[in-house]
Chain A
């Protein structure tokens, strides 16, 4: 076995492999997972690569354990990730909530397949988008990114770690089977060109440290276990000391901050890719593989002389409410192709509030849209 500390150059690799490499470039040195199609290749790559770079790969007994293990690893000060698909994602929801409540940086990849239940294990779906938003109980805000290519699997893995450290929250990478399994050229820069965000450490000595006193951006600095801070953290509603406090007032203060630290920083978090929006009368709004098909449809429509534009959601959560609101004042319609029966379309409809119409182009899963279904929706919207 040759020892490769870091890779750089051009590679023709799958999205899953690129995702693992992106995580490694971001400094991920702990991976816990459980085999599941179509995310298994991420675990396989990590099992080979983590030992080469002095990191940890552990195959846990299930996805519940995997999610917990990455939380534990993060509290030991190590950047940690897990990867799964629908059934495992469901099992991870319980402790995604713990990650949110303890404010634990970590990255969770969902290479979506078609569900519900075992569904179509080897075929594409995008049916977990609302689960990504609301899957754990209670009210919280979350960050979810949607790569549309192997190159973006690489880049968003790095971005996900940065966001997770910056906002002290689990970050979800909501990929799909097509993007996970397809191969394309992926450029990995030399390690010295990759900049990543370090953990925000306490500026006060241990005796003065309180785990949940936030900075101005509502995010508290984080001590790691073993550094002498002797802190306590709990999944119960807690005060700034990290101590349980069972009152409506404590709940109000905590939950407002957990939600606001994401929602109020959404200009910093949200990434969009916009094409031909300047004069667009109809906008295809989509994400992941569906956005690629959508863009293809927009290219065809433009070739026909139709004023179509493309809005690709690189960030799905927090939802880009403001941009949709702005656009809804000037366009006739949004076309939303997605591999489900309408999830992100509901958000688009909510934000456009009747100013522009929202046309869902659903796909039940097991494949991607035929481009003509989207083109027809574009034509119809302009009639």
Chain B
């Protein structure tokens, strides 16, 4: 049984849960895997800490929570401080570099991207989560990029497909460039 676990963390309003849903859906609907998405959220819809846990497996998932994450995606300082320390040191850490200030002794392999800035450049800050999903698709092979892209298109509101495709590709291409350049 191959079980992969992904944590996506940020604050309410960033679309963290939607990003988690896109990843889970990509696996379950567009790639024939089993997946679960659970979410933590406080009473506040915006501003509060927010976490999505995605489990992807080739067999049915009984326990739908993350025990040992395979990858961490963080879009806020709070999420970074909360989740990075608990994960094994070789787990890749994907961060929005403008929103997360790394500790000096950070041991995780870090993959930074200015996701929110990219989104703003594309015209809508709201698609930062989709930039991040594209970035994740490039860095991690848990769910194939093609399935991720299909999942994005089937999850976003009608009329925003073009913008979201651009956002996804911006993140994806940036990720591939980083990997090619051997940069962390």
**Touch test A–B (CB under 8 Å):** yes
Chain A residues within CB distance 8 Å of chain B: 10-12, 121-122, 178, 181-185, 292-293, 295-296, 299, 368, 371
A184–B39 Cα gap in the complex (Å)? 12
* Shortest Cβ distance from B158 into A: residue: A2
**Shortest beta-carbon distance, B17 to chain A, in Å?**
9
B62 at interface, CB cutoff 8 A = yes
Contact A292 B62 (CB under 8 A): yes
List A contacts of B35 (CB < 8 A). Answer: 12, 184-185
Interface residues of B in 27-53 (CB under 8 A from A): 28-29, 34-39, 41-43
Contact A11 B37 (CB under 8 A): no
**Shortest beta-carbon distance, B33 to chain A, in Å?**
9
**Shortest beta-carbon distance, A85 to chain B, in Å?**
14
B24 at interface, CB cutoff 8 A = yes
Interface residues contributed by chain B, number (CB under 8 Å) = 19
A-B contacts, CB under 8 A, total: 50
Contact of B39 among A181, A299, A371 (CB under 8 A): A181
Contact A183 B41 (CB under 8 A): no
| Centre residue among A12, A185, A368 by max chain B CB count within 10 A | A12
**Shortest beta-carbon distance, A17 to chain B, in Å?**
11
**Shortest beta-carbon distance, B183 to chain A, in Å?**
33
A122-B41, A122-B42 as given contacts; A295 in contact with B36, CB under 8 Å? no
A10–B29 Cα gap in the complex (Å)? 7
A122-B42, A184-B37, A185-B35 as given contacts; A12 in contact with B63, CB under 8 Å? no
Contact A182 B43 (CB under 8 A): no
**Shortest beta-carbon distance, A108 to chain B, in Å?**
25
A293–B35 Cα gap in the complex (Å)? 15
| Centre residue among B34, B35, B65 by max chain A CB count within 10 A | B65
> What per-residue 1/0 map shows which CB atoms of B48-61 lie under 8 Å from chain A?
00000000000001
Contact B62 A12 (CB under 8 A): no
B25 at interface, CB cutoff 8 A = yes
**Shortest beta-carbon distance, A97 to chain B, in Å?**
33
Contact B64 A371 (CB under 8 A): no
A122-B43, A292-B62 as given contacts; A182 in contact with B29, CB under 8 Å? no
List B contacts of A121 (CB < 8 A). Answer: 43
B21 at interface, CB cutoff 8 A = yes
Contact B62 A182 (CB under 8 A): no
A371–B64 Cα gap in the complex (Å)? 11
Contact A178 B29 (CB under 8 A): no
Pairs A–B under 8 Å by Cβ, sample size 25: A10-B29, A12-B21, A12-B29, A122-B41, A122-B43, A181-B38, A181-B39, A182-B38, A182-B64, A183-B21, A183-B24, A183-B37, A184-B28, A185-B29, A185-B34, A185-B35, A292-B62, A292-B63, A292-B64, A293-B62, A293-B63, A295-B62, A296-B62, A296-B63, A371-B63
